C-alpha cells in the first residue's frame, strides 16, 4: 500500500523555534556571560538506508533507498547562575521510490535552569521535539525511514524551590506544561505542582513525610484535575516502634469521562518499625472520611530498606479510588553488575491511546493486482473512472477525552566487562481506559551486546521482542495483537578526530492477527558524520 503523503512540518516547528530563541537569549544576555563556560559543536551527517519493503506489506514489496541529510548542533553553557543544554537535528529525508513523500524532521532537546535566589529558588524551562508513531496499531516501531510518524512538541516552564539542613528537607515546584502534536491528538496544556518534605537526621522528637502533587490539564473545552496528598507525622521514641498518623486524600475530577467526582479522604493510626538501622516498615489502618461509598476502610504498608550505599528497596501497598495500589523500586549496584526494577501506577489524561474501528474505502486501479498501487485508506481519486472501491475496516487513533490508569513495570540489568557490556531491558505498560475499561498492553524486551573492538571502533548488536495487545480485556478476545521481532547489528568507527561512521544491518518480522500487518523488512544503512 502506498505511503501516505505527510504535510510539511515547517509550521509545526514554529513553536519549538520560538522556545529555542527565548532560551538562547537567556544564555547570551550580558548578566550571564561573565565567568561562564561555553561549548558548541555543529555537525553534518549523511545516512543512506536501503529497505526492501518501504510500504511494510506482506506481498508485492517495494524497495527504496532512503537518504537522510542531517544538520545537527550540540551546545552546553554553564555559569554561576545559568545552566543550559541544547541538542537538535534537522533531518531532510528523500525516498527514491516516491519523491513526493520527501520531508524534513526536527528533533530537539533543550533545558535551562536559572538561579534566582541563593541556589534555592530556580527558574526552569525545557523544550523537546520528538517524532512518534502516528498510529501504534499500524506501526508502533515507526521511524524516519518508514515516514509514518507525527511530530510532538513539549514545552514547560516554571519555578522550583529546594531547601534543607540537618533538621528538615523541603522541596516544591510549579510548572506550566504545553503539549502540541502534528495531528492534534494528545494535546493539552495546564499547570502541575508538587510539594515534599521529610525530617532531617538531626530531629529527635518528631518525624514526618509529606508528598503531594496536583495536575491540571485542558484541551478543546475538556478539563482534568488530579490531586494526591499523603502525609505521615509521628513521634520519635527510644524504642524501635514509633507511632504516627497517616492522612491521605486523592481527587480525580474534570469533564473527562471516567472521572470520579468524589474525593477519597482517609486517615488512620500507624506504627513505624525500625527493623534495622536502615530498614523501616510502616503499617497503618485507614478510615474513610465522610459518606464515601467508593472505598472501604483499608490497610496500608510501606517498606524502605537501604542495607548499603549500593542497594535500595522501596515498596508500598495501599488503596486508591480505582482499587488496590502497589509501587516498587529496587536498585542494586556491584562493581560490574547493575540492576534497577520499578513498578508504579499513575493516572493519565489526553493520551494517545484511544482507538476506534472505522469503516473505510480502499480505491485501487482496476488494471492492477498490486496492492501497493492502491491509494491510502480513505483517500478518493480525483477521477474514479478506472478505479474500484473496496470496503475495509481500519483502526483510527482518536482524541482521548477519558481518564486512564497506567501500570508501568521497568527492569534493566547491565553487566559491564572490560571491553563488552551486556544489557537487558524489559518494560510492560498496562493502560486501562477508566470510562470503557478497555485495556491495552505494551510489552518490550531487548538484549543488547556492545563490544569495544579497538580505541576507534565498536560493535553493537541487539535482539528485540515487542508484543502489543489492544483491547485485551474484550470477552471475545483482543481486537488486535502485534508481535515485532527485530535483530540488528551496528559497526561504528571513528575515522578521524571529528569524523565518524557506522554501518547497520537490521531485520524485522511482524506477526499480527490482522492479515494486512504481517510482513518482514530488511535494512542496510551506512552513515558518515562530520563534527565541526
**Of residues 407, 362, 405, the one with CA closest to residue 384:** 362
Three-state SS annotation for 161-193: EEEECCCEEEEEEEEEEEEEECCCCCCEEEEEE
* 437 band by pLDDT with thresholds 50, 70 and 90: confident
Cα angle 449, 452, 457; round to 5: 120
The answer to whether 134 touches 397, Cβ cutoff 8 Å, is: yes
- Residue 501's nearest CA partner among 39, 40, 44, 42 is 44
The pLDDT score that the predictor gives to residue 376 is: 66
pLDDT bin (cut points 50, 70, 90) of residue 10 is very low
Mean pLDDT value of segment 85-106: 94
Q: What local confidence, expressed as pLDDT, does residue 261 receive? A: 46
Could you tell me the sign of the dihedral formed by the alpha carbons of 255, 259, 260, 263, in that order? negative
Grid-cell match 474505502, residue found: 361
Read off the pLDDT band of 523 (50, 70, 90): very high
Give per-residue pLDDT as tens, 456-469: 999 999 999 999 99
Residue 185's pLDDT is what? 93
As a whole number of angstroms, the distance between CA 406 and CA 306 comes to: 28
Is a pLDDT exceeding 90 seen at residue 493? yes
Number of other residues whose CB lies within 10 A of the CB of residue 273: 15
Which helix or strand (DSSP H or E) is residue 456 part of? Answer: none
> Which stretch of DSSP H or E encloses residue 107?
strand 103-117
pLDDT band for position 8 (50/70/90)?
A: very low
The answer to whether the CB of 214 falls within 8 A of the CB of 192 is: yes
The share of the chain scoring above pLDDT 90, in percent, equals: 66
List, in sequence order, every residue forming a beta bridge with 339; answer none if it has no partner: 332, 413
DSSP secondary structure letter of residue 60: S
| Mean pLDDT, residues 165-181 | 96
- As given in the structure block, the three cell numbers for residue 167 are 533538621
Digit-coded pLDDT (tens) for 405-419? 999 999 999 999 999
pLDDT at 76 exceeding the cut of 90: yes
Higher pLDDT, 354 or 193: 193
Confidence check: pLDDT of 394 > 80: no
- Give the DSSP letter of residue 451: E
pLDDT band at 24 (very low <50, low <70, confident <90, very high): low
- Over the stretch 189-216, which tens digit does the pLDDT of each residue have? 999 999 999 999 899 999 999 999 999 9
Instruction: Output DSSP code: residue 22.
Output: H
> How is residue 136 annotated by DSSP?
H
The predicted structure's pLDDT at residue 42: 94
Task: Out of 146-155, 304-313, 359-368, 403-412, pick the least confident.
Answer: 359-368
pLDDT band at 381 (very low <50, low <70, confident <90, very high): confident
Q: Which residue has the higher pLDDT, 319 or 515?
A: 319
Amino acid at each position: 500500500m502506498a505511503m501516505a503523503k505527510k504535510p510539511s512540518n515547517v509550521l509545526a516547528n514554529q513553536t519549538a523555534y520560538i522556545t529555542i530563541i527565548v532560551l538562547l537569549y537567556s544564555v547570551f544576555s550580558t548578566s550571564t556571560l561573565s565567568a561562564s563556560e561555553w561549548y558548541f559543536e555543529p555537525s553534518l551527517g549523511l545516512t543512506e538506508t536501503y529497505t526492501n519493503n518501504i510500504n511494510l506489506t506482506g506481498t508485492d514489496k517495494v524497495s527504496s533507498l532512503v537518504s537522510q541529510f542531517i544538520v545537527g548542533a550540540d551546545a552546553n553553557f554553564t555559569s554561576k547562575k545559568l545552566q543550559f543544554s541544547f541538542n537538535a537535528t534537522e533531518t531532510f529525508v528523500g525516498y527514491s521510490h516516491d519523491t513526493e513523500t520527501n520531508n524534513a524532521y526536527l528533533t530537539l532537546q533543550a533545558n535551562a535552569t536559572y538561579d534566582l535566589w541563593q541556589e534555592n529558588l530556580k527558574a526552569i524551562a525545557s523544550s523537546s521535539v520528538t517524532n512518534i508513531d502516528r498510529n501504534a496499531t499500524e506501526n508502533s516501531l515507526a521511524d524516519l525511514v518508514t515516514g509514518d510518524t507525527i511530530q510532538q512538541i513539549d514545552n514547560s516552564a516554571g519555578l522550583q524551590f529546594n531547601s534543607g539542613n540537618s533538621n528538615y528537607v523541603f522541596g516544591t515546584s510549579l510548572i506550566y506544561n504545553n503539549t502540541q502534536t502534528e495531528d492534534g491528538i494528545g494535546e493539552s496544556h495546564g499547570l502541575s505542582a508538587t510539594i515534599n518534605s521529610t525530617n532531617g537526621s538531626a530531629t529527635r522528637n518528631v518525624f514526618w513525610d509529606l508528598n503531594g502533587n496536583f495536575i491540571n490539564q485542558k484541551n478543546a473545552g475538556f478539563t482534568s484535575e488530579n490531586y494526591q496528598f499523603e502525609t505521615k507525622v509521628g513521634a520519635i521514641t527510644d524504642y524501635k516502634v514509633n507511632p504516627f498518623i497517616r492522612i491521605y486524600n486523592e481527587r480525580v475530577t474534570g469533564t473527562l469521562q471516567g472521572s470520579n467526582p468524589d474525593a477519597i479522604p482517609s486517615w488512620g493510626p500507624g506504627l513505624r518499625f525500625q527493623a534495622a538501622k536502615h530498614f523501616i516498615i510502616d503499617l497503618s489502618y485507614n478510615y474513610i472520611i465522610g459518606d464515601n461509598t467508593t472505598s472501604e476502610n483499608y490497610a496500608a504498608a510501606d517498606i524502605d530498606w537501604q542495607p548499603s550505599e549500593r542497594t535500595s528497596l522501596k515498596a508500598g501497598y495501599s488503596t486508591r479510588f480505582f482499587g488496590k495500589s502497589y509501587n516498587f523500586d529496587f536498585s542494586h549496584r556491584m562493581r560490574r553488575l547493575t540492576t534497577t526494577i520499578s513498578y508504579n501506577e499513575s493516572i493519565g489524561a489526553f493520551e494517545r491511546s484511544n482507538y476506534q474501528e472505522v469503516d473505510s474505502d480502499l480505491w485501487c486501479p482496476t488494471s492492477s493486482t498490486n496492492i501497493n498501487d492502491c491509494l491510502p485508506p480513505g483517500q478518493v481519486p480525483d477521477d474514479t473512472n478506472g478505479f474500484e472501491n473496496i470496503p475495509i475496516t481500519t483502526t483510527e487513533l482518536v482524541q482521548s477525552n477519558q481518564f486512564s490508569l497506567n501500570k508501568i513495570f521497568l527492569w534493566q540489568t547491565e553487566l559491564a566487562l572490560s571491553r563488552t557490556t551486556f544489557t537487558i531491558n524489559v518494560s510492560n505498560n498496562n493502560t486501562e481506559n477508566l470510562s470503557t475499561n478497555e485495556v491495552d498492553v505494551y510489552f518490550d524486551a531487548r538484549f543488547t551486546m556492545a563490544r569495544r573492538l579497538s580505541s576507534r571502533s565498536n560493535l553493537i548488536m541487539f535482539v528485540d521482542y515487542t508484543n502489543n495487545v489492544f483491547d485485551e480485556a474484550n470477552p471475545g478476545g483482543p481486537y488486535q495483537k502485534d508481535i515485532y521481532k527485530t535483530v540488528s547489528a551496528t559497526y561504528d568507527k571513528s575515522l578521524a578526530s571529528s569524523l565518524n561512521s557506522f554501518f547497520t544491518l537490521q531485520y524485522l518480522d511482524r506477526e499480527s492477527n490482522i492479515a494486512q500487518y504481517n510482513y518482514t523488512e530488511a535494512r542496510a544503512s551506512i552513515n558518515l558524520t562530520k563534527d565541526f
